[in-house]
Amino acid sequence: MAEPAYTVASDSETIGEEKSSSAFPEIAIGIDFGTSQSSVAVWNGSQVELLRNARNQKLMRSFVTFKDEIPSGGVSYQLSHEYEMLSGAAIFNMKRLIGRVDTDPVVHSSKNLPFLVQTLDIGVRPFVAALVNNVWRSTTPEEVLAIYLVELRALAEIHLKRPVRNVVLTIPVSFSRFQLTRIERACAMAGLHVLRLMPEPTAVALLYAQQQQQNMHENMGSGSEKIALIFNMGAGYCDVAITATAGGVSQIKALSGSTIGGEDILQNMMCHLLPNMDNLFSSHGINEIKSMGLLRVATQDAIHKLSLQTSVQVDVDLGNGSKINKIVDRVEFEEVNKNVFEKCETLVNQCLQDAKVDVEDVNDVILVGGCSNIPRIRNLVLGICKTETSYNRMNPLVAAVCGAALEGAVASGISDPFGSLDLLTIQATPLNIGIQADGNAFVPIINRNTTMPSRKESIFTTAHDNQSEALIVVYEGDNQSLEKNHLLGYFKIMGIPPAPKGVPQIRVCMDIDASNVLRVSAGEVVPTMPFMEVRMPTVDDGHGWCAQALIGQYGSTLDLISVPKMMQQ
């Protein structure tokens, strides 16, 4: 309707298409891009339809192999065997690597994957490479994701017989805004326009809201509010959400998440079976890669079996003379992965606490994701919620993608005559967003679990007499200490009139719109200079360096001091 007021060359393609489709809205497809498996779904006019690839799979492995110079991804490519994915030629676990620097522990734990993840530990992007004809060919997680998304897009276009541009992608709760820009970048490389990036459990919440609506119509049940706890744990990430649902509206009350998942369980088990694994595999020679693949497949298999039986026999010949013959029982498995289960417990408790919900008030516990099959995890979550059974009306592996497809239809402005799309998810911000002030402290302006869209502001003042400039350094995260949070960007406000410290009033305003775009503006309350407004994030990776450089250059000369709410106005 309102034409874009200003078009930049890089945007022109997207905007042109949007305009042409505005008369007849294109239904955005939903994509769940998982660490291990991915899926696509779309609203077909009456319900959500999962799309299947040429091999009739609705869950497709998330990898891209560079075997024959021309990369091919798990949507179209058929692995001859699991080992083929572990030959070094295939890149997987992109979702764990994307938007992370080489000092990140998650990147370090990816170093014993069969492909190459090399770190220099200086806070830059890691070197990622696939083995092609005995050469390590460099790539990036964004590139790999883009190749994969192109295949998913082609799959959807074949099914829908129309060009596909708009997507709703599910993302982990714990993704930083910088990571979100990397996902958007990969989508743009694949010719896709991101309509929404939706935290996975909130997509599940939308599906739940729809099921509750249908339930109400069918049974003439009460339309009262229902509280659901959604626990989602896949191969890479664990997320928890608490949602209050009534009348098709799902209000997200709290979110919590962490980079912990099946991959960590697998690594723990591999280390348990082969304690000196890290040393053995660090060189990434052809033979080491092969042994690593063998161990990985055997361990994975054992973990799956342990969900069904209480003990399992692991027999694997690593080919380099070492053999593993071991019986692993469930108690052992649970002991080895104690740290993972403890983290899950913390996330659930934190979410309940943030939502200010008593476990007695939780009506449904929804367990989704591959790891929700693990008995210990089921018991743990159900135990916290003091219930025996979980909600069973969802397929745990495709719930998120179905929710994303629903959101795709809702956010594209599609309405359904039967009211099946009379739905809404009211999102909340998963992380605090604030600025550096009061010396080296993190002062949140938008607290986590604030309803979106949102607009908040705080008043700050100068730290020094006659300070004419101030630096606004924006961070995002849950940590009290500044350095442990993600730097989103920084800018300088200028022309503050000379005054003793503490006198000037500087307003810092943060605004998040419904599509989760963050804008930070700052200026004096009584302006003598134009306000500054910056869309965040602005920093690229290597953000650790930026923060250090700022301190090195300016010290505390451009600092701000927060003014308590009580003192304002």
Residue numbers at the binding site for other proteins (CB under 8 A): 1-8, 10-11, 14-15, 178, 181, 184-185, 225, 246-249, 251, 407, 410-411, 413-415, 421-422, 424-426, 451, 453-455, 457, 507, 509, 511, 513-515, 517, 521, 523, 525-527, 529-531, 533, 535, 537-540
Token pair for 558: 């451009």
Cα–Cα distance measured from residue 386 to residue 405, given in angstroms and rounded to the nearest whole number:
32
Crossing angle for the helix pair 262-273 and 338-355, to the nearest 10 degrees: 160
Between 157 and 524, CB nearer to other proteins:
524
* Angle, in degrees to the nearest 10, between helices 262-273 and 286-306: 110
d(CA 85, CA 235): 16
Amino acid at 424: L
What SS3 state is found at 72?
strand
HSE-CB at 239 with a 13 A cutoff on CA atoms is 33
**Which CB, 332 or 422, lies closer to other proteins?**
422
For the CB of residue 496, give the shortest distance to other proteins in the complex, in Å: 14
Query: Of the two residues 324 and 532, which places its CB atom closer to other proteins in the complex?
Result: 532
In 3D space, the residue among 380, 334, 387 whose CA is nearest the CA of residue 358 turns out to be 387
CB of 168 to other proteins, least distance (A): 11
Complex with other proteins: residue 319 or 527, whichever CB lies closer? 527
Indicate the residue among 211 and 538 with the shorter CB distance to other proteins: 538
State which residue, 369 or 408, has the beta carbon closest to other proteins.
Answer: 408
**Amino acid letter, residue 94:** M
Q: Which two tokens stand for residue 117?
A: 């993840």
Smallest gap from Cβ 348 to other proteins, in A, equals 25
Shortest distance (Å) from residue 569 CB to other proteins: 8
Taking the complex as a whole, the smallest distance from the CB of residue 487 to other proteins amounts, in Å, to 12
Q: Judged by CB, which is closer to other proteins: 8, or 70? A: 8
- Least CB distance from residue 455 to other proteins, whole Å? 6
State which residue, 375 or 453, has the beta carbon closest to other proteins: 453
**387 CB neighbour count, 10 Å cutoff:** 17
From CA 304, how far away is CA 397, in angstroms rounded? Answer: 15
Q: Hey, what's the torsion of the CAs at 203, 206, 211, 216, to 10 degrees?
A: 170
Do the Cβ atoms of 196 and 168 come closer than 8 Å? yes
Task: Provide, rounded to whole angstroms, the least separation between the CB of residue 437 and other proteins.
Answer: 20
Q: Give min distance, CB of 179 to other proteins, in A.
A: 11
| Smallest distance from other proteins to CB 535, Å | 5
Q: Which of 191, 210, 198, 90 is nearest to 144 (CA)?
A: 90
Rg from Cα positions in the chain: 25
For the residues of 414-437, what is the DSSP string, one character each? ---TTSTT--EEE-B-SSEEEEEE
Pick between residue 185 and residue 296 the one whose CB is nearest to other proteins.
185
Q: What separation in angstroms does the CA of 385 have from each of 14, 59, 338, 378, 499?
A: 45, 30, 20, 11, 56
Asked if 260 and 343 count as a contact pair (C-beta separation under 8 A), the reply is yes
- 250 versus 390: smaller Cβ distance to other proteins: 250
As measured in angstroms, the least distance from the Cβ of 206 to other proteins is 10
